């Protein structure tokens, strides 16, 4: 019961964060990579507004202050400079359609870019990398663990010693080495994260296979003529589905964290693409005067990983009875237990 309030709080926080960012991008329609005005829009705090003059030719003028409004001319201030513009040059030829006040929900960064739109862009890339890397790691680990556990003997020893060797190397150092060899990019980041996180999945699946392959239904499938591959895939692996799903959720959160670390160091996603790690790196030198640049991406990472991990934990008890019932006799009805014979 103690985990439910924490799970609900994290889920609500994630929904609020996503809703705010989506409203900022799709309602306000701002380009996350656009730098419209570094003078007026630079480092605006959350919930700030900026006055915008919409010109008839489609251009925009952001200004700090608007004064001296007359019927024919409009005065505005940019920095310490006052300028004038004719009302006839505004969009629609009127003040009502040519002067707007734009809201920046999560503020702007040092280049005047909208933080809410960039948070959505970074979330798309970070989640994509996390999901693809986790899927790759689980597939590789499940294949290795299934082969090692079902075959046994020398193959099991060789595969597990290779797994232990890979586990002995710190994952971040291994990822940094591979990035230095192959270079940073979106595809390389996915491949590197997936290739450095399969070990725990392999050991987990191997342990499950060792416990399941001795059951009677596997012997029955073998007696019915099923080959080793069919036995392993159709009669043994379904029983390990529940812990594998939990492991996939944990790998997703772990991959997001490692991708954030690589992007923070400048070795992950390359500009103009942005991830949460690169957004945090953009604000690391402005924590005192522009705290929101690094704070909101950091909160997004923390909340997302927490929600994914909690969802993985809740998947285990929900899937365990179903997986157990499937593992009793995959593809055939279960046999009733024998009643003890009376003396």
Q: How many residues does the chain have?
A: 343
Banded pLDDT at 29 (limits 50, 70, 90): low
Domain boundaries, given as residue ranges, for the chain: 48-104, 115-328
By three-state DSSP, how is residue 146 classified?
helix
Residue 37 confidence (pLDDT): 79
Q: Which residue has the higher pLDDT, 326 or 44?
A: 44
Token pair of 331 as six digits: 């593809």
* Cα 115–chain centre separation: 17
The CATH number given to 115-328 is: 1.10.3720.10
Q: Which helix (H) or strand (E) segment is 77 a member of?
A: strand 73-78
| β-pair partners for 85 | 74
Residues of the chain with pLDDT > 70, as a percent, come to 76
CB 55 within 8 A of CB 81: no
Task: Give CA–CA dist 233/188, Å, rounded.
Answer: 30
Token pair of 145 as six digits: 């663990």
For residue 109, the 8-state DSSP code is -
State the fold for domain 48-104. Answer: SH3 type barrels. (2.30.30)
The yes-or-no verdict on residue 333 having pLDDT over 50 is no
Location of structure tokens 């009502």: 96
- Show the CA angle centred on residue 342, arms to residues 340 and 343, nearest 5°: 130
Of 38-52, 167-181, 261-275, 301-315, where does mean pLDDT reach its minimum? 301-315
Peptide bond into 141 cis (omega under 30): no
CB 261 within 8 A of CB 277: yes
**Mean predicted lDDT score pLDDT of the chain:** 79
Q: Give per-residue pLDDT as tens, 84-115.
A: 888 777 877 777 778 888 888 889 998 888 89
Q: Give per-residue pLDDT as tens, 192-240.
A: 999 999 999 999 888 888 887 776 666 666 666 666 666 666 667 777 7
CB 262 within 8 A of CB 179: yes
Segment 177-194 shows an average pLDDT of 90
Segment 326-332 shows an average pLDDT of 45
């Amino acid at each position: 019961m103690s985990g439910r309030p924490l799970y609900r709080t994290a889920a609500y926080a994630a929904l609020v964060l996503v809703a705010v960012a989506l409203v900022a991008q799709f309602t306000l329609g701002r380009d996350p990579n656009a730098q419209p005005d570094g003078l007026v829009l630079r480092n605006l705090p959350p919930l700030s507004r900026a006055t915008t003059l919409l010109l008839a030719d489609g251009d925009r003028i952001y200004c700090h202050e608007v004064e001296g409004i007359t019927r024919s001319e409009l005065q505005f201030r940019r920095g310490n400079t006052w300028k004038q513009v004719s009302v006839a040059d505004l969009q629609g030829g009127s003040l009502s359609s040519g002067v707007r006040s734009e809201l920046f929900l999560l503020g702007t960064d040092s280049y005047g870019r909208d933080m809410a739109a960039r948070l959505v862009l970074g979330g798309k890339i970070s989640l994509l990398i996390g999901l693809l890397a986790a899927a790759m790691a689980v597939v590789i680990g499940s294949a290795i663990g299934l082969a090692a556990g079902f075959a046994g003997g020398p193959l099991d020893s060789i595969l597990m010693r290779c797994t232990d060797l890979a586990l002995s190397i710190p994952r971040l150092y291994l990822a940094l080495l591979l990035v230095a060899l192959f270079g940073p990019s979106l595809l390389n980041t996915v491949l590197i994260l997936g290739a450095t996180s399969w070990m725990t999945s392999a050991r987990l699946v191997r342990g499950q296979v060792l416990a399941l392959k001795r059951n009677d239904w596997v012997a029955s499938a073998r007696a019915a003529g099923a080959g080793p591959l069919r036995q392993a895939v159709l009669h043994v692996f379904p029983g390990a589905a529940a812990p594998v799903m939990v492991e996939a959720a944990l790998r997703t959160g772990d991959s997001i964290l490692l991708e954030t670390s690589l992007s923070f160091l400048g070795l992950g996603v390359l500009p103009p693409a942005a991830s949460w790690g690169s957004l945090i790196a953009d604000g690391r030198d402005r924590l005192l005067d522009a705290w929101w640049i690094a704070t909101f991406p950091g909160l997004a990472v923390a909340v997302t990983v927490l929600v994914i991990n909690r969802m993985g934990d809740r998947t285990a008890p929900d899937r365990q009875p179903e997986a157990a019932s499937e593992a009793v006799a995959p593809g055939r009805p279960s046999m009733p237990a024998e009643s003890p014979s009376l003396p």
